[in-house]
Structure 1
Amino acid sequence: MEVIILPTQQKAAHLVAQIFAKEMKAHPKLVLGLATGRTMEPVYSLLVDLHRQAGLDFSQCSTFNLDEYIGIPADHPCSYRHYMNELLFNQVNITKANTHLPDGMATDLAAECIRYEGAIAQAGGIDLQLVGIGSDGHIGFNEPSSSLRSRTREKALTPATLEQNAPMFGGDPANVPRRAITMGVGTILDSRRCLMLVTGKSKASILAKAVEGPITAMVTATALQLHPRCQVIVDEEAASELKEIDYHRWVFANEPEWAEFQYLR
């Protein structure tokens, strides 16, 4: 795991977008794993700009989102399908049939979870997975105590997650669906490359636990320490409680992989 510290939220998002663009240009049929949430919005805005201004081509890509709420239809303004359509899919030249989210309205949710895992496998697996981190350390909707070998499944959401997601539902946690379908921790770990984007002072404590603490099912993001190619991209505020902050800065300044991005320091 590498931790890349950049001065601002915008520069952190810029690096994520540039990594996506570089990988897509090198591998036009890239399979992308996507995440939702306010942290990701600058990334999608930058990718749309790269498509419009620099011709970034999404036409052969396919995508799989981490999760979707159970019990709200795809056209609901708070569904993750609606979020992805509005922020990215409707604004680039991606083939909608190649964009995948779990179906939270499926009559047989267990079968839907199996189908989603199968669709990822049929696509050849996820090449580049983007994740954020919840206030309790979850990735996807893999809440505390989730198995670190888990696959796509139904999951009950914790009160902390309901509170965190309430702004999308009028500010009232009571309006947030209580369950979701989520990729499992094991599914996420199967990706060939993973980027975790974390910004803001409010995430500093949980980020430190995720990248420098012990691996534990109580903080499912710690499982990313086991990923063979995981890079955690953060702003200064999110990095403020890291104990090895000087080393993380040294890595970004000196590793050849990051030489072309030194202008972001």
Structure 2
Amino acid sequence: MELVIADDAAAAGRLAGGIMADHIRGGAHAIGLATGSSPLGAYRELIRQHRERDLSFQRVQAFLLDEYIGLPPGHPQSYARFIRDEFTAHVDIADDAVHSPDGNAADIPSAAASYERMIATRGPIAVQILGIGGNGHLGFNEPGSSLRSRTRVKTLTPKTRADNARFFDGDLARVPTHVLTQGLGTIGDAGHLLMIATGAAKAEAVAAAVEGPVSAFCPASILQMHPHVTVIVDPPAAAYLKAIDYYHFAFVNKPAWQGF
């Protein structure tokens, strides 16, 4: 695992977007996308490189981590709509190349299994961008999730629903209670896991994920078991890290040939 402490949230987003762009230029045919506020800076950088540096997504398939169950199609807070509005509508990726779990399927377990098969047959995902929840969730794998789990239904914790109520005009009653999410095992199949976390509210979760024990009660700690992980944080999100001096030293002395 490599941990990079960027100067600020904007720099963290630029670095994450640049890493994803390098994968695409290197021939990645499948990428994994996350929603929420953490990846937005990375998506802005990808859009910029598309417009200014001829970065093309025409040969790329994209897979979302998760989706609410029960929101109407096109709902402004659905994750399929979010990723289109914030990213894919601004680059040259085809709409039918952007895939998400079907939270409105008549048979939700079958939809989960179908999405899992799609990732397996159209992948592997070269690079998966990730955020982290304040309670350490990864995707919507809440604390207690199996470290080997696959795409499935999850019940959101009260904390996660409360955190997400801001996207529903502060009305907790409008926040769905269930989601379809890639499992921790599914996420771990990606070749490169790229997690971005910014802000003081993520500091405890970042420290638990990076330096704490590997535990189902901090799902993001599964990153420690993956052979290729980059974690990018800003200074507030790095506040509780114990080895912060080492992370700075390692990055400053990173060999030019090593890359990300």
Shift of 1:60: 0.4
Q: When you count helix as a share of all residues, which structure comes out higher?
A: 1
2:199 paired with 1:209: no
Q: Which runs of 5+ in 1 are unaligned?
A: none
Stretch moving more, 43-52 or 224-233:
43-52
1:30 Cα deviation (Å)? Answer: 2.5
User: RMSD of aligned C-alpha atoms?
Assistant: 1.4
Give SS of 1:195's match.
strand
Residue equivalent to 2:105: 106
1:9-53 CA distances to partner (integer Å, 9 max, x unpaired)? 0000000011111111111x4210110001122221221111111
Residue 197 of structure 2 corresponds to 198
Which residue pairs with 2:14 in the alignment?
14
1:85-100, aligned counterparts within 5 Å?
85-100=84-99
Whichever residue aligns with residue 150 of structure 2, its letter is: R
Displacement of 1:73 after TM fit?
2.6
**Map of 2:52 onto structure 1:** 53
Give the partner amino acid of 1:3.
Answer: L
C-alpha distance in 1 between matches for 2:77 and 2:56: 27
Amino acid in structure 1 at the alignment position of 2:84:
N
The residue aligned with 1:162 is: 161
Deviation of 1:257 after TM superposition, in Å, equals 5.4
Where in structure 2 are the equivalents of 1:128-207 lying within 5 Å?
128-207=127-206
Q: Which residue of 1 aligns with 2:115?
A: 116
CA displacement 1:194-234 (0-9 Å, x = unmatched): 00100001111111111000011001000110011011000
Q: Equivalent pairs: percent with the same residue?
A: 45
Corresponding residue of 2:124: 125
Superposed counterparts of 1:58-69, under 5 Å: 58-69=57-68
- Gaps spanning 5+ residues in structure 2: where? none
Output the CA distance in 2 between the equivalents of 1:184 and 1:260: 28
Give the SS at the match of 2:39: helix
Distance in 2 (CA, whole Å) between partners of 1:168 and 1:5 is: 28
1:61 to partner: Cα distance: 0.5
Query: Residues 144, 57 of structure 1: CA spacing in aligned structure 2 closer, same or farther, 3 A cutoff?
Result: same
TM-score normalized with structure 2 length: 0.97
Give the residue type in structure 2 aligned to 1:9: A
User: 1:7: Cα distance to partner?
Assistant: 1.1
Q: Distance in 2 between matches of 1:226 and 1:103?
A: 29
> 167-176 or 143-152, which moves further after superposition?
167-176
Q: CA deviation at 1:259?
A: 7.4
Q: Quote how far apart the aligned CAs of 1:74 are.
A: 3.1
Q: Which amino acid aligns with 2:123?
A: G
Retained in 2: the 8 A contact 1:23–1:30?
no
Q: Deviations over 1:99-142 (max 9, x none)?
A: 10001000001100110010001113211001100010000000
